[in-house]
Amino acid sequence: MSFDLLGLPDSLLKAVKEQGYTEPSPIQAQAIPAILEGKDVMAAAQTGTGKTAGFTLPLLTLLEKGNRPKPNQVRALVLTPTRELAAQVHASVATYGKNMPLRSAVVFGGVKINPQMQILRQGVDVLVATPGRLIDLYNQNAVSFKQLEVLILDEADRMLDMGFIHDIKRILAVLPKQRQNLLFSATFSPDIRRLAKGLVNNPVEISVSPRNTTAENVTQTVYEVDKTKKSIVLSTLIKQNDWQQVLVFVKTKHGANRLVKSLEGRGITAAAIHGNKSQAARTRALAGFKEGQVRALVATDIAARGIDIDQLPQVVNFDLPHVSEDYVHRIGRTGRAGNEGQALSLVCNEEFKLLKDIEKLIKKVIPRKILAGFEPGEPLSPSVLDGRDPKPQKPKKPHSDHRDGQRSAANTAANKKHRSARSNFVSGK
């Protein structure tokens, strides 16, 4: 199928071809016609499947023919969980919409709010936002939604993981009831389906890849290594293989900073990207990585969510993730658009259970290697896939003594205190 057959205007087709694309990806081929028909869409799609263009192209098509936005008004709202993803979605809107008379803007926290308020005074056709900053702008009467036509939730599963559910509900409460809704998520988990019930109306469901599968063109390898030798093994692999661009995942912010210092000390340019970094520092690190000035970008999972880099050759799991599904998200950043990719994991003996959980999830035993000169003191146990479903746990017998009443009362008080604190946070107190 060609993009020419999807009903997109010439101004968009020109921009698409300038980016070197001739055929839509599977999600684009399914989502674009449904969105153009004005239907609500609920799509399961991971980063790297072309989902951003899958909603950007039809969205711009729909907005081209409507009335221009009035001051402080927004015609289409895209909510994203992180600043990096917001910036990238906005870049996509600007790239594809450059031949169209539409205005777009992006707003997120970590930067001054006044310039964002000034942009919104003109009114925008497409606003890309993170939930917290959007609520701040709404509370200051800097943005209004009377002209809103389309709402898009991008990476909705990550928004729930990051605790944005109350912010999302608060935003939904001030939007017009008559609107088109598009929801994109890596999976259709029970939590996502509960969110969708109050959001989408009779949606077209799209799923372009089976849940928790890894790309076939990504070569996965485990390097057995002692925990204390991970840093030197990583730097050795980078130098021996002459890797010029490698994305490295770690589990903590402090671990990211330590690893950057270690790599820099061994002559490898590196930069960290995590929640404690200012937005300017994160933007600089990502730009330096894309431009080849930084060889190793060290990131935590939340900060790296949404990072979209064309033809990224290597991803390294310096630490295995505690949530097995995050492994799939991590290595999905390489091997895109038909390109070959490598995903390496440095695994010590303490992480064997995490490795077993990942292999059970992806239904595959990952081949193992040992770097010469860095043989581990405690080799990993052999992996054996267990395809059996876990046995259901028998319910515990209820206790009848007085301590149950005490625990119940304590839990009730604790829950009230938690709800009160969360309410104050959501309302900005």
Reply yes or no on whether the pLDDT at 177 is more than 80: yes
Strands 296-299 and 218-224: unpaired
Q: Mean pLDDT throughout 170-194?
A: 90
Q: Mean pLDDT throughout 123-145?
A: 96
Q: Residues 91-116: pLDDT tens digits? A: 999 999 999 999 999 999 989 999 99
Give residue 232's identity as a one-letter amino acid code: I
Contacts with 183 (C-beta within 8 Å, 6 or more apart), sequence order: 41, 42, 43, 152, 153, 156, 192, 195, 196, 199, 200, 203
Q: What is the pLDDT of residue 338?
A: 61
Least confident range of 57-66, 201-210, 224-233: 201-210
> In sequence order, what E strands does 70-188 have?
74-79, 104-107, 124-129, 150-153, 180-185
| Helix (H), strand (E) at residue 330 | helix 324-331
The answer to whether the beta carbons of residues 116 and 74 sit under 8 Å apart is: no
At the top level of CATH, which class does the domain 3-207 belong to?
Answer: alpha beta
Q: What is the pLDDT of residue 276?
A: 80
Percent of the chain at pLDDT above 90?
A: 54
Q: What's the CATH code, domain 218-369?
A: 3.40.50.300
Q: Residues 255-264: pLDDT tens digits? A: 999 999 999 9
Q: Which ranges in the chain are annotated with CATH 3.40.50.300?
A: 3-207, 218-369
Residue 363: is it exposed, middle or buried by C-beta count within 10 angstroms (0-12/13-18/19+)?
exposed
Of 281 and 394, the structure prediction assigns the larger pLDDT to 281
Can you read off the two tokens belonging to residue 46?
A: 């991971």
The answer to whether the beta carbons of residues 8 and 32 sit under 8 Å apart is: yes
Q: Is 20 helix (H, G, I), strand (E, B) or coil?
A: coil
Least confident range of 15-19, 61-65, 333-337: 333-337
> In sequence order, what E strands does 132-255 have?
150-153, 180-185, 204-207, 218-224, 246-249
CA distance linking residue 327 with residue 387, whole number of Å: 19
Reply yes or no on whether the pLDDT at 394 is more than 60: no
Reply yes or no on whether the pLDDT at 270 is more than 90: yes
Q: 180 - beta bridge partners?
A: 150
Percent of the chain at pLDDT above 70?
A: 84
Q: What is the pLDDT of residue 308?
A: 65
Per-residue pLDDT band for 36 (boundaries 50, 70, 90) equals: very high
Q: What is the pLDDT of residue 405?
A: 42
* DSSP codes joined into one string, 21-67: --S--HHHHHHHHHHHTT--EEEE--TTSSHHHHHHHHHHHHHHTSP
CA distances from 350 to 21, 238, 399 (A): 45, 24, 36
CA distance linking residue 90 with residue 46, whole number of Å: 18
Of 213 and 50, the structure prediction assigns the larger pLDDT to 50
Per-residue pLDDT band for 409 (boundaries 50, 70, 90) equals: very low
Reply yes or no on whether the pLDDT at 35 is more than 80: yes
Reply yes or no on whether the pLDDT at 410 is more than 60: no
The answer to whether the beta carbons of residues 112 and 129 sit under 8 Å apart is: no
Least confident range of 35-49, 89-103, 154-168, 295-309: 295-309
The residue behind tokens 């746990």 is 393
Q: What is the pLDDT of residue 418?
A: 44
Q: How many CA atoms lie within 13 A of 423 on its CB side?
A: 6
Highest mean pLDDT among 169-183, 334-348, 371-385: 169-183
